[in-house]
Amino acid sequence: MTTLHDPAVTASADALSVWPASAAEPRPGELTVGGVPLAEVADRFGTPVYVLDEGEVRERCRTYRHAFPEADVLYAAKAFLCRAMAHWVAEEGLGLDVCSAGELELAVTTGFPPERIVLHGNAKSPRDLETALRLGVGRVVIDSPSEIARLAAAVGPDGHQKVMVRVVPGISAGGHDKIRTGTEDQKFGLSIRDGYAQHAIARILDQPQLRLTGLHCHLGSQITGVKPYIAAVRRMVGLMARLHEQHGLALPELDLGGGHGIAYRPGEPALDVTALARKVRAELAEACTAAGLAVPRLVIEPGRAVVGPAGVALYRALAVKRTGPHTYVAVDGGMGDNPRPALYGVRYAPRLVGRHSTAAPARVTVVGRHCEAGDILADDVELPGDIRPGDLLAVPAAGAYHLSMASGYNLVGRPPVVAVNDGRARLLVRRESLEDIRSRDVGV
């Protein structure tokens, strides 16, 4: 009888460690998520296709609510947003942070309460601000001095809008230089060190239409340790103490942003949300007590950590090519639906699904169909040595920053999104068709 200590069972569990908790291998070569065989999803909806485990999304929302019961947890819509995602997040008691009028309109027209939404961004357009005010967004995060007068004018003399100020705390954290946003000399936020944050806050206090409710910071993305957040708490509370001394200001909210890292391959680290909550709470209480301040209400903004591990991308192999010492497996998607490997050098662990292979593993590079040499989805990974055209490959941890960053390169069309839950699969976002592409092009 196979036991939990059987090496084969342990190896299989390790291989599924970055997959949704519902992932199972009922038979060799068959993989199910949410009780649905992935091969059936590919046959029914075609490839490439993105599979989203509703149960995993909801459970991750509940994990955050349990870890931060006294905080406002806002799902970062930029990671991935569709109507169903907004609905699930709302039902699980989370708020939402958005970066554009498009994200805001989609959420509110789905029924998401606008007062639970925060709008941020380093270059908000007039349309973004007009939409936020028209729909009654809960908070607008000020990211530059020019926004202050523009927002106050848009609100009008008789209106009121709650705002926060995005502060640069001068902390380097994140998985890649291009996703570190807590450091000096980058496009986001207002620096404490240079005094720009303090100056902006003074200007906001002179605008009766704007009510400053708190400070906001975001350190970056793919942060897997707690220490950067502890350092951010200390610096943000230090600024709050100075504001209290200078203006008698007692800010009721502190937003520490998100950036909570996940594992993309077995063995990689992920941020421990429970440890984060415990240590941030303790540090916030200690720092506020030392500064003689009331403890503000905490706000956090997880995105990737909610939806990333819930997503799986399915691709069909179109060609296998051996060039010198390398074997390239070309699939029917690529950088058009997932630009992250090209942008950040991200590495994944694709897996053959839909058939059982007894062939010895071989080192291959999985490449996309787009006309760029850098269109590589998974470099130097192990797949069965008999990999062939027609095989189905599944890429885990694909829920965040894939389709939300998808492009129209080569006019291929973006893949659909399919939800799985309790043995059922349903379409959430349809495939972008050739007719969609043609209809947008109106100039002849």
Interval 193-221: pLDDT, tens: 788 888 899 999 999 999 999 999 998 88
What is the reported pLDDT for 148? 94
Q: 417-428 burial string, b = 16+ CB within 10 Å, else e?
A: bbbbbeeebeee
Provide the pLDDT confidence category of residue 170 given band limits of 50, 70 and 90: confident
* 290-313 residue pLDDT tens: 999 999 999 999 999 999 999 999
Task: List, by residue range, all CATH 3.20.20.10 domains of the chain.
Answer: 54-307
Query: What are the tokens at 374?
Result: 């850098």
Which alpha helices (DSSP H) does 161-226 contain, by range? 196-205
**What does the alpha-carbon distance between residue 181 and residue 191 come to, in Å, rounded to a whole number?**
12
Which of 59-63, 183-187, 211-215, 223-227 has the weakest average pLDDT? 183-187
Helix/strand/coil percent split, the chain, to 5: 35, 25, 40
pLDDT tens-digit readout, 310-338: 999 999 999 999 988 899 999 999 999 99
pLDDT higher than threshold 90 for residue 345? no
pLDDT at 292: 95
Location of structure tokens 């994944």: 348
On the question of pLDDT at 179 being above 80, the answer is no
Q: What is the pLDDT of residue 2?
A: 37
State pTM to two decimals: 0.93
User: DSSP assignment, residue 52?
Assistant: E
- The whole-number pLDDT of residue 178 equals 46
Q: What is the C-alpha separation between 215 and 233, in angstroms, rounded?
A: 11
3-state secondary structure of 50: strand
Residue 298 near residue 68 (C-beta atoms within 8 A): yes
Q: Pairing mode, if any, of strands 161-168 and 190-191? A: parallel
Phi, then psi, of 305 in degrees rounded to 5: -70, -15
- Write down the pLDDT at residue 325: 87
**Which pairs with CB-CB distance under 8 Å and at least 24 residues apart come from 14-17?**
14/266, 14/267, 15/266, 15/351, 17/263, 17/266, 17/267
Buried b (16+ CB within 10 A) or exposed e, 114-131: bebbbbbbeebeeebbeb
The pLDDT of 92-100, averaged and rounded, is 97
Q: CATH homologous superfamily of domain 13-52+309-439?
A: Lyase, Ornithine Decarboxylase; Chain A, domain 1 (2.40.37.10)
pLDDT digits (tens, 9 = 90+) for 41-54: 999 999 999 999 99
Please report which confidence band the pLDDT of residue 176 belongs to, taking 50, 70 and 90 as the band edges: very low
Cis peptide before 157 (omega within 30 of 0): no
Q: Which residue has the higher pLDDT, 193 or 126?
A: 126
* C-beta of residue 255 within 8 angstroms of C-beta of residue 301: yes
Which one of the listed residues 99, 217, 288, 371 is annotated catalytic?
371
* Residue pLDDT, tens place only, 411-426: 999 999 999 999 999 9
Q: Does 371 qualify as catalytic in the annotation?
A: yes
What would the pLDDT profile of 369-394 be if each residue is shown by its tens digit?
A: 999 999 999 999 999 999 999 999 99
How far apart are the two ends of the chain, measured CA to CA in Å? 70
Write out the two tokens for 295: 């403890």
The reported pLDDT for the residue numbered 173 is 52
Half-sphere exposure for 30 (CA within 13 Å, toward CB)? 7
Task: Find out whether 58 and 421 touch, Cβ atoms under 8 Å.
Answer: no
Tokens of 125: 């357009």
The answer to whether the Cα torsion of 65, 67, 72, 76 is positive or negative is negative
- Residue 68 — φ and ψ, nearest 5°? -125, 65
Q: Which residue has the higher pLDDT, 171 or 274?
A: 274
Q: CA-CA distance, 367 to 362, in Å (whole number)? A: 15
Asked if residue 248 has pLDDT above 60, the reply is: yes
Q: What is the pLDDT of residue 5?
A: 43
Strand duo 297-300 + 253-255: pairing:
parallel
pLDDT bracket for residue 6 (50, 70, 90): very low
- Fold for the domain defined by 54-307: TIM Barrel (3.20.20)
Q: What pLDDT shows up at residue 172?
A: 57
- pLDDT band for position 91 (50/70/90)? very high
Containing 398, the helix (H) or strand (E) segment is none
Mean pLDDT of the chain: 92
Report residue 27's pLDDT band, with 50, 70 and 90 as the boundaries.
very high
Share of the chain above pLDDT 90, in %: 84
Statement: residue 183 has pLDDT above 60: no
pLDDT at 122 > cutoff 90: no
CB atoms within 10 A of CB 244: 16
How would you classify residue 411: left for phi > 0, otherwise alpha for psi between -120 and 50, otherwise beta? left
Q: How many CA atoms lie within 13 A of 122 on its CB side?
A: 10
Dist CA 142 CA 206 (whole Å): 15
Residue 174's pLDDT band (cuts 50, 70, 90): low
**Helices assigned H by DSSP within 70-144:** 83-91, 101-110, 126-135
Q: Strand locations in 217-256, DSSP E?
A: 253-255
d(CA 239, CA 245): 10
